[in-house]
């Protein structure tokens, strides 16, 4: 099928999210991406696969209200594909990761040839996601050089932070070029947490992969497991029972609320208001304990699986959750008044780390941070799969684009998600919570796309023989938001960075599998 002005013939990839897929050549790859860019489309993900026949590069785009999946097979001893980072800046790091993992280089004048995920843990000549790479081998790590961009000028100096931080957070290096306290430039270096998840997927069966998917980024375990299950169900042509879908939505909203509560506390704490952390930590802890009580896991890991859901909702748990909703809503309202009327706190939040809508659109920002900059992006509203088509959550959008907007958005989304939880508890359909997951055919593909609390999580998979996985690519929204953070800090002062960083709260692990 033709889609709008685009050249390739697309075929539908069935599933909960209908994607349109086309195999293209290098020229069409570039042309299609250019047309999508020209008409305001967005880049979601770019990855590569070496599935045995020939290596290929893949691109997920959103255009004209559709999810498009372009595949470009590449050949030769030094395979190449056209660079897209001039159109979509977020593609730059994805392309660098593609080279590090599969050894396929983007071709273009402006291509950044520095490594992204490879830090010397494996030799330069090895590419871990190629077929022949043996994941069991051990290499002696070597220190490698990384050419940070230098800022020259009178009084400019560098502050290097991380990858080991004073607090217990994930590893990441931040290189600030500053004059006094003012930040001229920030360069991130991530990829200190490479675990080989994508390689590990290749040793698993389609039915077992959900557990690994749920551990890509622990704070979004429901979203990842759902996205994986959605992709696996698409590959097998299976629709899970309605009750399972409603349970998933309940868990996804509970995950969103738990993370937002935690973040609100930490935003307050990073501005020196320890009171906020104490209060929100208490709320979050109670919330997680309800998860444990009702579903047997604080963070709801392994509750979503291909074919349905792992646990059902008991009546007494439903009562407890209804009480929780009323209580948390009341407390949130009071805490919000404290936040809004605290002059010292507002002074720190308002205007800090501002990202304009234009900048966000140019850089391809997504998820929560995008909505705080006035970009109406939320899969639950714009690509609603069941049960969100029935729930119809209100999309919250703020225009400010600063830390204050991202904070206010979290407050609003907690309230909205609480309401959503209430509607789910009211409308939960009866019936089974899972159907047997059949063995999918060899070479079947599926795509899962779920709005996690941080943003949209995409998982694309292809099956092998006898229900094995050939290739799984989980794609975290952090890929597209980390580069935005580099811009958000410009012109701000060094001590405001932790606050700005916390207001984005991006995943280090999610973009370094």
For the bound state, the minimum distance from the C-beta of residue 277 to other proteins, rounded and expressed in Å, comes to: 8
- Smaller CB distance to other proteins: residue 342 or 357? 342
In the numeric block, the tokens 């559709």 are attached to 66
Other C-beta atoms within 10 Å of 158: how many?
13
For the bound state, the minimum distance from the C-beta of residue 509 to other proteins, rounded and expressed in Å, comes to: 20
- Smaller CB distance to other proteins: residue 175 or 454? 175
The strand pair at 105-107 and 80-82 is best described as: parallel
For the bound state, the minimum distance from the C-beta of residue 345 to other proteins, rounded and expressed in Å, comes to: 4
Reduced to 3 states (helix: H, G, I; strand: E, B; else coil), residue 62 is strand
- Smaller CB distance to other proteins: residue 166 or 436? 166
CA distance 381 to 371: 12
Other C-beta atoms within 10 Å of 379: how many?
22
**For residue 23, what is the enclosing H or E element?**
strand 19-23
CA distance 416 to 438: 36
For the bound state, the minimum distance from the C-beta of residue 262 to other proteins, rounded and expressed in Å, comes to: 16
Of the CA atoms within 13 Å of residue 447, those in its CB half-sphere come to: 24
- Smaller CB distance to other proteins: residue 127 or 497? 497
Give the residues lining the site for other proteins (CB under 8 A).
Answer: 158-161, 165-167, 181, 268, 270-275, 277-279, 282, 342, 344-345, 347-348, 493-498
For the bound state, the minimum distance from the C-beta of residue 464 to other proteins, rounded and expressed in Å, comes to: 45
Q: Torsion angle of alpha carbons 465, 467, 469, 473, nearest 10°?
A: 130
Residues in Cβ contact with 421 at an 8 Å cutoff, skipping those fewer than 6 apart: 250, 253, 254, 257, 321, 325
CA distance 346 to 352: 10
Residue 16 near residue 233, CB atoms below 8 Å:
yes
- Smaller CB distance to other proteins: residue 165 or 215? 165
- Smaller CB distance to other proteins: residue 107 or 282? 282
- Smaller CB distance to other proteins: residue 143 or 436? 143
CA distance 213 to 167: 27
- Alpha helices per DSSP H over 215-241: 221-236
For the bound state, the minimum distance from the C-beta of residue 18 to other proteins, rounded and expressed in Å, comes to: 44
Residues in Cβ contact with 173 at an 8 Å cutoff, skipping those fewer than 6 apart: 160, 161, 162, 163, 188, 189, 190, 192
Residue 21 near residue 74, CB atoms below 8 Å:
no
For the bound state, the minimum distance from the C-beta of residue 343 to other proteins, rounded and expressed in Å, comes to: 9
Residue closest to 267 by CA, chosen among 258, 280, 254, 255: 280
Residues in Cβ contact with 451 at an 8 Å cutoff, skipping those fewer than 6 apart: 223, 252, 367, 378, 379, 380, 457
For the bound state, the minimum distance from the C-beta of residue 105 to other proteins, rounded and expressed in Å, comes to: 35
In the numeric block, the tokens 């990441």 are attached to 172
- Smaller CB distance to other proteins: residue 165 or 398? 165
For the bound state, the minimum distance from the C-beta of residue 273 to other proteins, rounded and expressed in Å, comes to: 4
- Smaller CB distance to other proteins: residue 194 or 348? 348
CA distance 96 to 116: 6
- Smaller CB distance to other proteins: residue 229 or 407? 407
For the bound state, the minimum distance from the C-beta of residue 466 to other proteins, rounded and expressed in Å, comes to: 49
- Smaller CB distance to other proteins: residue 187 or 312? 187
For the bound state, the minimum distance from the C-beta of residue 181 to other proteins, rounded and expressed in Å, comes to: 6
For the bound state, the minimum distance from the C-beta of residue 200 to other proteins, rounded and expressed in Å, comes to: 32
- Smaller CB distance to other proteins: residue 279 or 366? 279
CA distance 159 to 174: 8
In the sheet that holds 445-451, the strands lie side by side as 445-451, 456-463, 469-475
Query: For residue 85, what are the β-bridge partners?
Result: none
């Amino acid at each position: 099928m033709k889609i709008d002005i685009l050249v390739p013939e697309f075929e539908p990839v069935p599933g909960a999210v209908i994607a349109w897929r086309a195999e293209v050549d290098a020229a069409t790859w570039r042309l299609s991406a250019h047309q999508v860019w020209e008409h305001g489309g967005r880049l979601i993900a770019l990855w590569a696969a070496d599935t045995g026949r020939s290596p290929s590069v893949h691109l997920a785009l959103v255009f004209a209200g559709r999810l498009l999946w372009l595949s470009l097979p590449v050949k030769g001893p030094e395979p190449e594909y056209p660079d897209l980072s001039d159109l979509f800046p977020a593609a730059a790091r994805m392309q660098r990761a593609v080279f590090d993992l599969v050894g396929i280089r983007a071709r273009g004048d402006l291509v950044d040839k520095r490594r992204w995920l490879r830090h010397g843990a494996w030799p330069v000549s090895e590419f871990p996601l190629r077929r022949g790479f043996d994941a069991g081998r051990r290499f002696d790590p070597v220190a490698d050089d990384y050419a940070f961009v230098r800022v020259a000028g009178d009084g400019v100096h560098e502050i290097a932070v991380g990858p080991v931080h004073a607090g217990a957070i994930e590893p990441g290096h931040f290189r600030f070029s500053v004059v006094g306290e003012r930040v001229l430039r920030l360069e991130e270096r991530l990829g200190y947490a490479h675990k080989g998840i994508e390689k590990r997927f290749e040793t698993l069966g389609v039915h077992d992969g959900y557990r690994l998917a749920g551990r890509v980024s622990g704070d979004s375990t429901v979203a990842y497991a759902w996205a994986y299950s959605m992709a696996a169900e698409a590959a097998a042509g299976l629709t899970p029972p309605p009750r399972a879908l409603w349970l998933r939505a309940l868990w996804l909203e509970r995950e969103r609320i738990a993370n937002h509560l935690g973040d609100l506390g930490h935003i307050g704490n990073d501005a020196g208001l320890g009171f906020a952390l104490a209060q929100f930590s208490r709320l979050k802890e109670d919330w997680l304990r309800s998860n444990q009580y009702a579903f047997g896991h604080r963070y709801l890991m392994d509750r979503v699986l291909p074919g349905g859901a792992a646990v059902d909702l008991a009546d007494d748990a439903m009562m407890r959750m209804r009480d929780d909703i009323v209580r948390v809503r009341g407390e949130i309202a009071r805490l919000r008044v404290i936040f809004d009327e605290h002059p010292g706190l507002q002074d720190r939040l308002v205007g800090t780390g501002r990202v304009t809508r234009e900048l966000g659109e140019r850089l391809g920002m997504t998820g929560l941070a995008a909505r705080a900059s006035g970009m109406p992006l939320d899969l639950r509203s714009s690509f609603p799969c069941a049960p969100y088509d029935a729930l119809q959550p209100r999309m919250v959008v703020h225009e400010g684009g600063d830390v204050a907007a991202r904070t206010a958005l979290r407050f609003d989304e907690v309230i909205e998600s609480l309401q959503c939880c209430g509607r789910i508890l009211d409308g939960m359909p009866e019936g089974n919570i899972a159907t047997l997951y059949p063995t999918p055919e060899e070479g079947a593909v599926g795509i899962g796309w779920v709005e996690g609390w941080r943003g949209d999580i995409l998982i694309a998979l292809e099956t092998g023989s006898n229900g094995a996985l050939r290739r799984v690519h989980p794609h975290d929204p952090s890929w597209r938001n980390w580069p935005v953070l580099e811009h958000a800090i410009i012109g701000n002062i060094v001590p405001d960075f932790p606050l700005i960083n916390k207001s984005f709260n991006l995943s280090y692990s999610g973009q370094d599998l």
